[in-house]
A and B are shown apart, each in its own frame.
Chain A
Amino acid sequence: MRPYLNFSPKPFARKDPLGFIFILINSVICIAVILSALYLWQIQRANQQHSGEFSRLELKKELLNEQFAQLNKDLKAMDLRAYDKEVRFYAGIQQELNAPWVNLLDALGSALPDGVRVQQVSSDGSTGEDVGQTIRLLAYARTKKDELVLLKRLQDMQDFSHVLIMNEVYEKPAIMFETRLIYHSDKGN
């Protein structure tokens, strides 16, 4: 420290080069500190913003996870196989109901010879709009001849096509046979 031996109540301003350097260095340090503080503040601010976005994304992810879990839960609860089976069941009923039973039975009745008795007529569903309705016919014939007469008549009729014997059992005193055929509801009219 420089001694101070001046008695003047108002001394000349001391222009100390070391003091000037000291002030200069302090000023530079102050500026550096201020800039560093500003930089730090900006980093903190950016960090807070990113942190906020990250939190929002985390929250969104959690919500989506919850929704996904709920959907999974609902999906499991739905039991798709049972639903599919149920749909098929109701679709079958619908198909049964769609079959033109009155016309079909009229056509079948007109083709039946005396020696044949129809046990069961059922529909296997539509084969397509252009093709027709697949019909399964279970009947009993007194004789083979009666059976063949029925089949021949069905084959000759425009209302039916693809008349095939699927099964035939000889049971005294009758022959049980199962026929499959396609009924064209629009051709007979």
Chain B
Amino acid sequence: MLKTKILKQPVILQTERRLWGSHASGWQINSPSPDSLPRFSTIETLVPDDVWKSKKTALFLPEIACFPIRVPVEEKVKTSELEHFLKWTLKSRLPFPLEDAWIRYMPIHGTSSWLVFSLPGSWVQDTFDFFNTKGVHLGYIGTIAGLILESMRAPDMKVLLSYYGYYIYIHQKSGKLNQFQIRRFPIKDGQIQFEEFINSDFPMETSSGSQNPVPIYCFSHGRQKEWNNYFEQHGPGIFQMHEANENMAQLLVQMGRKT
């Protein structure tokens, strides 16, 4: 699905509760500090040696850790001043000092808004340097959604990334971002409420009846089972489940192999 060479390198993927790797036959460890950025200097011994033997690695973080925020931008803002304007707008919305914020952004087509991802620059630099001292070139630090936005070239492409507690819906048209939605699943008794999700939460346009099913990439074992149960009961309709993998990092690598 993704035309990128980044997924030809070994990848490390952090989800809400685990850290996954595609090195060798794949590995996973429980995230020592869920919902926060991983400190590899402290978990160095927990990850397999293969990680430090590889020359190159890509690190994928959960989208929620990069604070994707939609920022309206006034027309009078010049391109050269855009980054400062976006940072200034994010001032009260980031949990780390603005001076330390590194941001990446892209326009949302048909609107005056920009989608902004942010990370603490000190953490990025420390992580990069740590890998570097180990002889590993950390050439990609980002998110799966970010990689999709960078790499998808289909004329009209929709994709749903399903994590344990939230989902991300991306709609790209002619290489331009039309829609980016990140939301928590409606959950009751630990289960996704599919009826509520599809009928009210899911932002898909319902005007045209002959739409292709939206592919789902699920990066949570628990939710994969729930989705499978849903499809067993309802069959593919609006959604279509893509093949699963025991290792989520390898599932991500598979996305790069699919055409």
Contacts and interface: CB of A to CB of B under 8 A. Distances in A.
Q: Is the interface of A mostly helix, strand, loop or mixed?
A: loop
A15 B4 CA distance: 9
B9 interface: yes
Nearest to B121: A7
A7 B124 contact: yes
Interface stretch (B14-22, B141-149, B241-249): B141-149
Q: Is the interface of B mostly helix, strand, loop or mixed?
A: strand
Interface in A1-54: 2-12, 15
B5 A15 contact: yes
Given A2-B150, A12-B56, A7 B141 contact: yes
Contacts of B169: none
B128 interface: yes
Contacts of A9: 124-125, 128
Interface in B140-168: 140-143, 146-147, 149-150
Contacts of B104: 3-7
B255 to A, nearest CB: 16
A3 B150 contact: yes
Nearest to B119: A7
A16 to B, nearest CB: 10
A8 B150 contact: no
B117 interface: yes
Contacts of B213: none
A172 B137 CA distance: 154
A183 to B, nearest CB: 124
A19 to B, nearest CB: 13
B56 A5 contact: no
Scoring B5, B56, B125 by chain A CB atoms within 10 A of each residue's CB, the highest score goes to B5
A4 B146 CA distance: 8
B106 interface: yes
A10 B9 CA distance: 15
Contacts of B58: 12
B102 A7 contact: yes
Size band of the A side of the interface? Answer: 10 to 19
Contacts of B106: 3-5
Nearest to B177: A3
Contacts of B124: 7-9
A180 B10 CA distance: 140
A6 to B, nearest CB: 5
Contact of B143 (A3, A5, A11, A12): A5
A10 B137 contact: yes
A11 B139 contact: yes
Interface string B78-106: 00000000000000000000000010101
Given A5-B150, A6-B142, A12 B6 contact: yes
Given A2-B150, A7-B119, A12 B142 contact: no
Given A2-B150, A3-B149, A8 B140 contact: yes
Interface of B: 5-6, 9, 56, 58, 102, 104, 106, 117, 119, 124-125, 128, 137-143, 146-147, 149-150, 175, 177
9 contacts: A4-B104, A4-B106, A7-B124, A8-B124, A9-B124, A9-B125, A11-B140, A12-B139, A15-B5
Given A3-B149, A15-B5, 9 more contacts: A2-B150, A5-B117, A6-B140, A7-B141, A9-B128, A10-B138, A12-B9, A12-B56, A12-B58
